[in-house]
């Protein structure tokens, strides 16, 4: 394998994982970030995001002299052969992706890139961005490649090192080959295509995943009404290999730093070419409906009005295994509950920071104390093994709304609690 000199711009979930993993594959990597505090912490080996294996890889890379951090872009790219852009592309005005970070770095790179560098856009960006980056770079000698990233938070390193596929798109086949070669050691299926298609793959994949989840949440609602059990339904569906078992778990709505923004961006991409992407719009609407359904259930549980009701919240992160709160459905539900006057006490094993509209406490038992109802919003394993008799003794009410179908019915029932999951009928009696 060729060892390449690589620069990675942006050291968030994607950039840090990319940098540390490429260094672990033997490449020489310099990571740049505008956040000087983050750079200083990374130099000291301190990784602030919860990603198994990442701290170790950062330490090993630095110790081996293959991984370095800087806040100086010029320094980072000084002798780079390939430069990865792993910059944020948050939801901007009207739902479109905000490309300001990508564009500003492209402008800055114009004068400092060594001759013949390949610039790789790993950020999720609308079709045409590679061309836009090429125009901003304004360098005939520099090729631009789209290499969308498919890792999930909480398993970023594993996903990066064992990807289902690698997508590399460029209007320069040589540049695409050069980028694909960086990952050769991973032995993953590599799909080469033009830049526009690669940019589209990322949105098409994330929107498909979101659509699958909204579909299953809508099926869960129907199951409640017709008396079916969504777990059995998805089990029965999932054995069909065309459907698959994964990504069929109902929840309080899907969230996170990407599915929400990418579905909105897709709607805007479609609008920009005169298409009304009704399917993706319905996917987003169904997600909001799911969050409201959770609130309706909590309201019912506390006697029809949330004003003055005390609600214990278990879980705030957008899914288990991460401390990321960006676009967390738990926060969306909490906001709706607070809007109706509920008093919220929340616990999440990985969140300690104070949050507006609720009291964040240090343990689950403090969260459920005096609660008229408890709602589980993130599927942390530790919630399965709570002492439910203790919970029952602390609570004021008896209902635990389990929006992740994560808890053991019998354990709660034995403690005299009423557990309501999603997508199944309410148990008739509590103990």
Ligand X SMILES: O=C(O)[C@H]1O[C@H](OP(=O)(O)OP(=O)(O)OC[C@H]2O[C@@H](n3ccc(=O)[nH]c3=O)[C@H](O)[C@@H]2O)[C@H](O)[C@@H](O)[C@@H]1O
User: What is the contact surface with ligand NAI in residues (CB under 6 A)?
Assistant: 9-15, 32-35, 38, 86-89, 101, 104-105, 123-124, 149, 151, 153, 257-258
Instruction: Tell me, residue by residue from 104 to 133, as one string, x for binding to ligand X by CB under 6 A and - for no binding.
Output: --------------------x---------
Q: Would residue 258 show up in a list of annotated catalytic residues for this protein?
A: yes
249 makes contact with ligand X (CB under 6 A): yes
Binding-site partner at residue 102 among ligand X, ligand NAI, none, CB < 5 to 8 Å by type = none
Does position 251 interact with ligand X (CB under 6 A)? The reply is yes
Alpha-helical segments (H) within 194-351: 195-226, 230-238, 259-272, 278-301, 329-339
From residue 393, give the alpha-carbon distance in Å to each of 287, 396, 431. Answer: 34, 8, 14
Could you say which of ligand X, ligand NAI, none residue 89 binds, taking C-beta under 5 to 8 angstroms by partner kind? ligand NAI
Least CB distance from residue 189 to ligand X, whole Å? 16
Q: How many whole angstroms separate alpha carbon 175 and alpha carbon 172? A: 5
Determine, following the binding rule CB under 6 A, whether residue 87 of this chain makes contact with ligand X: no
Residue 123 or 263 with smaller CB distance to ligand NAI: 123
Choose between 251 and 397: whose C-beta lies nearer to ligand X.
251
Residue matched to tokens 């402008």: 107
- Residue that has been written with the tokens 């970030």 in this structure: 33
Q: Which of 343, 355, 289 is nearest to 317 (CA)?
A: 355
Closest to 232 (Cα-Cα) out of 426, 425, 421, 424: 424
- Nearest to ligand X of 208, 277 (CB atom): 208
| 349 sits near ligand X (criterion: CB under 6 A) | no
By beta-carbon proximity to ligand NAI, the closer residue of 178 and 264 is 264
With both helix axes pointing from N to C terminus, report the angle between 100-109 and 129-137 in degrees, rounded to the nearest 10. Answer: 30
- Among 318, 347, 383, 388, which residue sits at the site for ligand X (rule: CB under 6 A)? 318
Binding mask 218-247 for ligand X (x = CB under 6 A): -----------------------------x
Is the separation of the CB atoms in 106 and 133 below 8 Å? yes
Identify the residue among 73, 109, 151, 207 touching ligand X (CB under 6 A).
151
The least CB distance from residue 404 to ligand X, in Å, is 8
For residue 140, how many other CB atoms are within 10 A of its CB? Answer: 7
- Name the residue nearer to ligand X (CB basis): 54 or 306: 54
Near ligand X by CB under 6 A: residue from 16, 97, 220, 258: 258
3-state secondary structure of 158: helix
Task: Specify whether the CB–CB gap between 283 and 210 falls below 8 A.
Answer: yes
Cβ partners under 8 Å of residue 144, min gap 6: 118, 119, 120, 121, 130, 131, 133, 134, 137, 170, 172, 175, 195
- Would you count residue 206 as binding ligand X (CB under 6 A)? yes
Check if the beta carbon of residue 348 is closer than 8 Å to that of residue 380. Answer: yes
When the beta carbons of 12 and 26 are compared against ligand X, the nearer one is: 12
Residues labelled as active-site residues? 258
Residues at the site binding ligand X, with contacts judged by CB under 6 A: 124, 149-153, 206, 209, 213, 247-249, 251, 254-259, 318-319, 329
């Amino acid at each position: 394998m060729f060892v390449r000199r690589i620069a990675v711009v942006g050291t968030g979930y994607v950039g840090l994982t990319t940098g540390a993993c490429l260094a672990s594959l033997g490449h020489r990597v310099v990571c740049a970030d505008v956040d000087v505090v983050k750079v200083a912490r990374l130099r000291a080996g301190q990784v602030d995001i919860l990603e198994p294996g990442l701290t170790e890889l950062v330490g090993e890379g630095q110790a081996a002299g293959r991984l370095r951090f800087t806040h100086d872009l010029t320094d980072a790219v000084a002798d780079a052969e390939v430069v990865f852009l792993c910059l944020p592309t948050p939801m901007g005005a009207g739902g479109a992706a905000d490309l300001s970070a990508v564009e500003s770095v492209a402008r800055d790179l114009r004068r400092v890139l060594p001759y013949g560098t390949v610039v790789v856009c790993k950020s999720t960006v609308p079709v045409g961005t590679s061309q836009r980056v090429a125009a901003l770079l304004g360098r005939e000698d520099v090729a631009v490649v789209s290499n969308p990233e498919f890792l999930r938070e909480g398993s970023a390193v594993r996903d990066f090192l064992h990807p289902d596929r690698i997508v590399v798109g460029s209007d320069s086949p040589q540049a695409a080959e050069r980028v694909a070669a960086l990952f050769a050691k991973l032995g993953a299926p590599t799909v080469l295509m033009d830049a526009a298609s690669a940019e589209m793959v990322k949105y098409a994949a994330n929107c498909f995943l979101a659509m699958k989840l909204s579909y299953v949440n809508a099926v869960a609602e129907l199951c409640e009404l017709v008396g079916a059990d969504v777990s059995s339904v998805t089990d029965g569906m999932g054995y069909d290999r065309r459907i698959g078992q994964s990504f069929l778990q109902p929840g309080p709505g899907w969230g996170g730093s990407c599915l929400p923004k990418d579905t909105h961006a897709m709607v805007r991409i479609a609008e920009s070419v005169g298409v009304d992407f009704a399917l993706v719009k319905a996917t987003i609407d169904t997600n909001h409906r799911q969050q409201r359904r959770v609130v309706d259930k909590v309201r019912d549980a506390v006697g029809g009005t949330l004003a003055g009701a005390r609600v214990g919240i278990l879980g705030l992160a957008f899914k288990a295994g991460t401390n990321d709160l960006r676009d967390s459905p738990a926060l969306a539900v909490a906001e709706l509950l607070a809007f109706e006057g509920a008093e919220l006490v929340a616990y999440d094993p990985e969140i300690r920071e104070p949050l507006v509209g609720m009291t964040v406490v240090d343990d689950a038992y403090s969260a459920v104390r005096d609660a008229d109802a408890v709602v589980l919003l993130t599927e942390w394993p530790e919630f399965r093994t709570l002492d439910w008799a203790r919970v029952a003794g602390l609570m004021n009410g008896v209902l635990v709304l389990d929006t992740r179908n994560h808890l053991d019915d019998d354990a709660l029932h034995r403690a005299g609690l009423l557990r309501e999951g999603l997508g199944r009928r309410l148990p008739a009696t509590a103990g």
